Each structure stands twice: as structure tokens, then as C-alpha cells.
Amino acid sequence: MASVDEVAPIVRANISKEAHLVTDQAKIYKKLGTEFARHDTVNHQKDEYVRREGETVITTNTIESYFSVFKRGMRGTYQHCAEKHLHRYLAEFDFRHNNRVALGVNDTDRANELAKGIVGKRLTYRRPNSKNVQA
């Protein structure tokens, strides 16, 4: 189980202080939540997963769904990821999440969007047994 000392620096480094933080009831977020513009929780122990407060929807379903797909991919498909490459794996899962069928993106649209990312880029490899020489 994660501790406040492990989680707090990551949250602080990646989430703007002006953000509306939504978490579950885990105690590690209680004090940390006071550092943000707004902090709401859902209580999974009481079978609460979505709550509406006027126009605002309080839920952790989206991030839990994303993380579930990410974990399955990392354990089942990739199986190993060096920390220095984690941002690349996350970028791939971000792309998948933001270009999924549930959002009305079909395979052709997704392929076209993916192809846009290669414009102006060139992939080169070093030749075997040589330093800094590119093919």
C-alpha cells in the first residue's frame, strides 16, 4: 500500500494547485487535498462511485478505468518498462484512451491521427559496432 510520503511528491509535481482533486476516501489524500483549489472524495466503502453536486460530477471512475487498462497492458503485453521510458508508455495509453471507439473514433480515424504524429520525424539506427554513426 502506498504511503503519503510516496504519493504526495508525485501528486504535487503533476497536478496544478488550481485543480479540483477528486479521490477515494484513502487517508493519504486527506491533508494533501487541502493544498488544491478543491478536493472531493467518493466513498467506495458505501458503494458511492458517482455523486453530482449541481453541475459538478464527483467520480474517480475515469482514472480508475484508465489505470486498469494501463496495468493490464503493462502486465500482459509489455511486462517490463524501465522508469526512463515510462512517459512513452503513458503517451501510448493516453493516445488509446483519447482515441477510443467509445468516443466515436473508428479504426480509420485512429490510424489517420496516429500517422499525423510521424510528420517531420525520422527514425535512425546506429550501425552495429560503431559509435554515433547513423544509417
Q: Is pLDDT at 130 greater than 70 in this prediction?
A: no
**10-21 residue pLDDT tens:** 999 999 999 999
Residue 134 to residues 74, 118, 120: CA-CA distances in angstroms?
A: 31, 19, 18
Mean pLDDT of the chain: 90
> What are the grid coordinates assigned to 87, written together?
512517459
pLDDT digits (tens, 9 = 90+) for 85-122: 999 999 999 999 999 999 999 999 999 999 998 898 88
Q: Which helix (H) or strand (E) holds 64?
A: helix 61-73
In the chain, the amino acid numbered 91 is A
Stretch 63-68: mean pLDDT: 92
What's the distance, CA 22 to chain centroid? 15
What is the separation of C-alpha 125 from the centre of its chain, rounded to a whole number of angstroms? 30
Q: What does the pLDDT read at residue 103?
A: 94
